[in-house]
Amino acid sequence: MQLKKKNIAGLLSVATCSLLSGQAQSADDWNVDSAILFYSETDRVDAVEPVISGKKDLGDDEILSMKLVFDALTGSSANGAVPSTMVQTFTTPSGGGGGEEGEDEGEGEGGGSYQVAPNTTPLDPTFKDARAAFSMNWDKPVERDRRRNLGFNFSIEHDFTSLGVNGLWQYDSNQKNTSWTWGTNIELDSINPIGGAPEPLTTMAAMSKGSDTETRTVLDLLFGVTQVIDRSSLLQLNFSLSQADGYMTDPYKIVSVVDSVSGEPIRYLYENRPDNRYRQSVFAKYKKMFAGKDIFTASYRYMTDDWGVDSNTFDLTYRFRLGASYYLQPHLRYYQQSAADFYRYFLVDGEAVPGEVSADYRLGEMDATTTGIKFGREIDAQHSWSIRLERYLQTGESSPSEAFGQLTQQDLYPDLEATIVQFNYSFVF
């Protein structure tokens, strides 16, 4: 299952900055941004994701924009289980095999299972997915100092469908040096796990399946202000609330139950997460131009939720102008999060099973750094291209204090390393 892309990310900025820019688009012209991204994790997931988006001025500063995204993913995904000194056998999500999840690469006969070598992080090798997403936004001045942006987005995969509508309203004050924005997003998700959603906390071998279709609703609220500081700098501050209700569990993730002495896995339970989540975040972004050409951008986000996850994200870029039409832009991002309250590396046989538990590494305590470089060229006023190379490294606690027995010899939170290559081409027609 692949998650829905947040096409609306940056929408706020579109609204708040449209007045600042004052840029003119020719009527009848479409400004098109296209890109393709190649994402490759070491020994895990590979993805290809082409995007095309178009923006057209309908006149009187009324702007229509559309975006189409495809992506295809293949490879292996960590299933949540701990490594063992012995060969481990897991059931595929499709159970008896023949599902859409792809080929069974395990050694078990008849499909429906895969095996993992000793002392190896268990990865589900049958991961395969494709997604298409479409979004549209209509941005319109409603009064001299107000704008309204309405949009919808739709995303579909073979086991996940999402439909969202959103609205943003903007009010400019202080000679348009201050833009106040507020908005809301409502999203309806339908999750159709391959073979049905597993009954939470049941053993993997039993393959006890629950409902074929699960649902979730998400309500987001956003409040923001963008302030022109001076002739060359801007500051944006956002405050966001997000309430999600419904199926939040990952139907393909499991938790190992290990022997209380040896630490060897005895069985695997399907994970279970709370059925609601409340998130808050504060986001700040600062942008400044130096020497009339180079641009420094810094952003920070603090997020906290009622799952116990707190995170800090720092992001820095500096765009060096190389002559009139070239630029070079280094990028540095640092991310740090605390673990969710119900995150566990493993469960111990004999202990009471918690009502909510997940061993999904994405809910564990971690740090992540991204380093990247982008090179771009503006060919003329209507054509430009760029290439971006990035490296993502995620690290966690490989030897947690709760490990015992054979677990002390294992890497319980292996690094995740990914390489990202992206090409952009923008044109007008």
Partner 1 sequence: MKTAIRWLLIAGLLAASGCSSLGVKPWERDLLAREDMLMNSDALDLAYDEHIYFSKEASSGGQGFAGGGCGCN
**Residues in region 133-192 near partner 1 by CB under 8 A:** 160, 162, 164, 166, 173-178, 183, 185, 187, 189, 191
Residues contacting 23, CB < 8 A, separation 6+:
none
242 touches partner 1 by CB under 8 A: yes
Each residue 355-384 as x (binds partner 1 by CB under 8 A) or -, in order, gives: -----x-xx--x-x-----x----------
163 or 207: CB nearest partner 1? 163
We find the least distance from the C-beta atom of residue 250 to partner 1, in angstroms, to be 5
Residues contacting 10, CB < 8 A, separation 6+:
none
User: What's the CA gap between 373 and 291, in Å, rounded?
Assistant: 21
Q: Which amino acid is at 173?
A: S
Q: Which of 137, 136, 114 is nearest to 252 (CA)?
A: 114
We find the least distance from the C-beta atom of residue 325 to partner 1, in angstroms, to be 12
227 touches partner 1 by CB under 8 A: yes
Q: Which of residues 22-41 bind partner 1 (CB under 8 A)?
A: 22-23, 33, 35, 37, 39
Binding-site member from 115, 280, 369, 371 for partner 1 (CB under 8 A):
280
- DSSP state, residue 19: H
We find the least distance from the C-beta atom of residue 160 to partner 1, in angstroms, to be 6
347 or 368: CB nearest partner 1? 368
SS3 of residue 397 by DSSP: coil
Q: What is the largest CA-CA distance in the chain?
A: 73
We find the least distance from the C-beta atom of residue 283 to partner 1, in angstroms, to be 4
Q: Phi/psi of residue 258, each to 5°?
A: -110, 155
Binding-site member from 115, 202, 208, 281 for partner 1 (CB under 8 A):
281
Q: Which of residues 88-127 bind partner 1 (CB under 8 A)?
A: 127
Q: Which of 83, 126, 46, 26 is nearest to 381 (CA)?
A: 26
Whether residue 211 contacts residue 247, with contact meaning beta carbons closer than 8 Å, is answered with no
270 touches partner 1 by CB under 8 A: no
We find the least distance from the C-beta atom of residue 57 to partner 1, in angstroms, to be 14
Total number of residues binding partner 1 (CB under 8 A)?
Answer: 110
DSSP string, 88-148: EEEE-TTSSS-STT----SSSTTSSEEEE-TTS--EEEEEEEEEEEEEEEEEEEEETTEEE
394 touches partner 1 by CB under 8 A: yes
Binding-site member from 195, 287, 406, 407 for partner 1 (CB under 8 A):
287
Whether residue 347 contacts residue 361, with contact meaning beta carbons closer than 8 Å, is answered with no
388 touches partner 1 by CB under 8 A: yes
